Amino acid sequence: MTATTTTTGPEPSASPGLPEPVGDPPLLEVRNLTVTYGGTVPAVRGVDLRVEAGQKLGIAGESGCGKSTLALALLRLLPATAKLTGEILLDGEDVLTMKWGRLRAVRWAGASIVFQGAMHSLNAVHRVGDQIAEPILLHNTKTTPAAARKRAGELLEQVGLPAARAQAYPHELSGGQRQRVMIAMALACDPRLIIADEPTTALDVMIQAQILRLIEQLVANQDVGLIMISHDLAVLADTCDRLSVMYAGRVVEEGPARQVYAEARHPYGRALSAAFPRIGDPASRRAPRGLPGDPPDPAALPGGCTFHPRCPVALDSCATEDQELREAGGERRAACVLVNAPAADDSRSMS
Ligand code: ADP
Ligand code: MG
């Protein structure tokens, strides 16, 4: 599918003006992706992303900014009311134009998703081992049910559960154990890319840390790509190499994860990092500051820069002039008119 909209997203090449690098295509390249629900709700607007094999990309943003829509779009898991334009190149092959048979193969073996609510994603009436074995059987027609069950047990051990837990039903496991089962399922067909959509949000803090370490280890061992989605910038800064910050369906800031966390160039990025200080980080000595208000309803986006109604440093022109991602020093880009202005102090107007 090619883009039919004329959104003002940035050029797809990593460095505008330079030729595309020659060689293997990146593991994932998303170009000018838009998702519109029911013809009137533009939930994702002109997003570009790139993930290399072995790389970990974090996607941050408050609830309602389009993160899950983006994650589901990557594997065409959205309801039929969602219309997609742009390109989603997985190993150079466009997911948006794939035939169904190919898409089914890609869904577990090319890329897989770990969702937030493991209880809702697992089938309550089937043993978890059988649920892990199912995609293995689906994708390897030569595998026997006994071999798939054996592999399910190995996968459970890989995510820190005894193989015997394969016999359990989802309700017999804790929230953290169910999330481990979801991760085992995501690994079942050796995907090249794992997408984790708020994988720890529903869990308590100690279990969150364990699950995050587990995901990190698995990705490091297997050289797969990872997209980790969270509203918590501190978690993403710890786990990921690069970060993209989403607001109202767009990427408004991107760059090396620790730099974006430590000194975001977009006022929204700064607000998010102030909201989630990291223990032991100098930034955490500041009291966490909230950002008043909520992200806009995509069906009624404000004009100009969509962040301007909440922005503590907005200029008059921000109410009418939209901003595209622009170079913001080093490998960073941000969609703010003040990116290259002297450092703005936006602390005064945040509550
Ligand atoms: P996030 O994951 O960042 O919280 P979502 O992708 O879930 O954001 O939602 C982005 C926007 O799209 C929200 O305004 C949400 O209400 C809207 N939305 C999500 N799913 C649907 C749907 N199936 N139909 C219509 N609107 C939807
Ligand atoms: Mg979500």
Which tens digits make up the pLDDT trace of 31-66?
999 999 999 999 999 999 999 999 999 999 999 999
Ligand 1, from 36, 45, 69: best to mutate by most atoms within 8 Å of Cβ? Answer: 69
Domain membership of residue 36 (yes or no) is: yes
Question: How far is C-alpha 210 from the geometric centre of its chain's CA atoms?
Answer: 19
Mean pLDDT, the chain, whole residue set = 87
Q: Worst-scoring range by mean pLDDT, 2-16, 148-162, 223-237, 287-301?
A: 2-16
According to the model, what pLDDT value does residue 111 have? 94
Model confidence pLDDT, tens digit, residues 307-330: 999 999 999 999 999 999 999 988
Domain membership of residue 232 (yes or no) is: yes
Domain membership of residue 328 (yes or no) is: no
pLDDT > 70? residue 9: no
Q: Worst-scoring range by mean pLDDT, 70-84, 110-124, 130-144, 167-181?
A: 110-124
**Closest Cα to atom 5, ligand 1: which residue?**
66
According to the model, what pLDDT value does residue 240 have? 95
Nearest atom of ligand 1 to the alpha carbon of 198? 2
Model confidence pLDDT, tens digit, residues 222-256: 779 999 999 889 889 999 999 999 999 999 999 99
As beta bridge partners, residue 230 has 60
Total domains in the fold of the chain = 1
Domain membership of residue 246 (yes or no) is: yes
Nearest atom of ligand 1 to the alpha carbon of 297? 14
**Residue 282's pLDDT band (cuts 50, 70, 90):** low
Q: Retrieve residue 138's tokens.
A: 């689906």
Domain membership of residue 62 (yes or no) is: yes
Ligand closest in space to the Cα of 198: 2
**Closest Cα to atom 24, ligand 1: which residue?**
37
**Residue 337's pLDDT band (cuts 50, 70, 90):** very high
Percent of the chain with pLDDT over 90: 66
**CATH code for the domain of 237:** 3.40.50.300
Bridging pattern class, strands 56-60 and 250-256: unpaired
* Domain span at 55: 28-110+189-263
According to the model, what pLDDT value does residue 181 have? 93
Domain membership of residue 349 (yes or no) is: no
H-helix or E-strand spanning residue 194: strand 193-197
Separation of 62 CA from ligand 2 center, angstroms? 9
Bridging pattern class, strands 56-60 and 225-230: parallel
User: For residues 96 and 88, is the Cβ–Cβ distance under 8 A?
Assistant: yes
Domain membership of residue 45 (yes or no) is: yes
Map residue 234 onto helix, strand or coil.
helix
Nearest atom of ligand 1 to the alpha carbon of 295? 14
According to the model, what pLDDT value does residue 222 have? 77
Find where tokens 């500051």 sit. Answer: 289
Domain membership of residue 138 (yes or no) is: no
pTM of the model: 0.88
Q: Dmax of the chain from CA atoms?
A: 67
**Residue 276's pLDDT band (cuts 50, 70, 90):** confident
The whole-number average pLDDT for the span 335-344 is: 79
Q: Worst-scoring range by mean pLDDT, 102-106, 198-202, 242-246, 281-285?
A: 281-285
Query: For residues 239 and 159, what is the distance between their CA atoms, to the nearest angstrom?
Result: 17
According to the model, what pLDDT value does residue 6 have? 37
Model confidence pLDDT, tens digit, residues 133-170: 999 998 888 899 999 999 999 999 999 999 999 999 99
User: For residues 84 and 1, is the Cβ–Cβ distance under 8 A?
Assistant: yes
According to the model, what pLDDT value does residue 204 have? 81
